[in-house]
Amino acid sequence: MYGNYANYYENPTSRIRSFSPTLQYIEIPNANRWAAARQATPPGLSKPTVVPVNPFDPREDAAVLRKAMKGFGTDEKAIIQVLTRRSNEQRLRIAYEFKTLYGKDLISDLKSETSGKFEDLLVALMTPLPQFYAKELHDATAGIGTDEDVLIEVMCTMSNHEIQVIKQAYTAMYGNLLEDDLQGDTSGNFKRLMTSLCMGNRSEDFHVDQESARQDARSLLQAAALRITSKEMPADLAADVEACLVLCAPNTVVSTPLSASTSFIHLLICRGAAAL
């Protein structure tokens, strides 16, 4: 049903079997279900606004979408009502049932019945998450220039397991290693940060070492103060600072289970030097 990314939507296990770009199975230690990781929100943080609907009937949703696109005109409100209120996993199940019931590809029908930004949005909603993030990273590094905001948004908010599977999807789709493309389009400390994140091996422990967090927050404040007084900040350093803020700030959209210490650091920074 989910192509080569079925492991995203399986039950959590301590060791999950994952497809490699060569379509052979490989073992990823301590891998967790993508959806479970998305919903494992630390206490005090906002939860995702799009969650799996319950009860869920993919065949009924498929019928609604078919009716919305059949005949003259398109019922865009009905399409929005269904696809924007289902999780990514549920949308893929709807597409599976749509093809089973009507012998047609849901994405192809959506593309033929819509256009412009609305079409782009619907196609993105129907794309498996590994493929979606892999495409975003590729587009951010392809051509002239680099969209560092996209690199930060993806690489700094994904769990270790998510990064590992995105890397596999990236290689399968584009024939290159994600790490190589990131290194080729970045430089300096930002390049080192992207390379480190690409390993998918950072701590996801929720234990907070308050003293270490205070020291990290103090260092960040001092570094920021020096840059502010100089009134200059190189582009690569600005990207580093933004990445640090993303790492420290609770992500209220995806609620990634990052280290709890980063949120504590963010709290201390917001309170200012007096809190240290």
pLDDT at 192 over 50: yes
pLDDT at 255 over 80: no
> What are the strands, taking DSSP E only, across the chain?
15-19, 25-29
The answer to whether residue 84 sits within a structural domain is yes
Residue 215, CB half-sphere, CA atoms under 13 Å: how many?
5
Counted domains in the chain? 2
- Among 108, 125, 142, residue at a domain's last position: 125
pLDDT at 233 over 60: no
**Domain limits for position 239:** 210-275
Residue with tokens 């993919």: 58
Q: Which two tokens stand for residue 265?
A: 């650091």
pLDDT at 212 over 50: yes
pLDDT in tens, 127-164: 999 999 999 999 999 988 889 999 999 999 899 999 99
Q: What CATH number is given to the structural domain containing 68? A: 1.10.220.10
Q: Which two tokens stand for residue 273?
A: 């030097």
- 179 versus 224: the higher-pLDDT residue is 179
The answer to whether residue 64 sits within a structural domain is yes
Q: Give residue 144's pLDDT.
A: 86
The answer to whether residue 14 sits within a structural domain is no
- 34 versus 169: the higher-pLDDT residue is 169
> Please, what's the largest Cα pairwise distance for the chain?
66
Mean pLDDT (the chain) is: 76
Q: Give residue 143's pLDDT.
A: 84
- Quick check: pTM over 0.75? no
pLDDT in tens, 104-113: 999 999 999 9
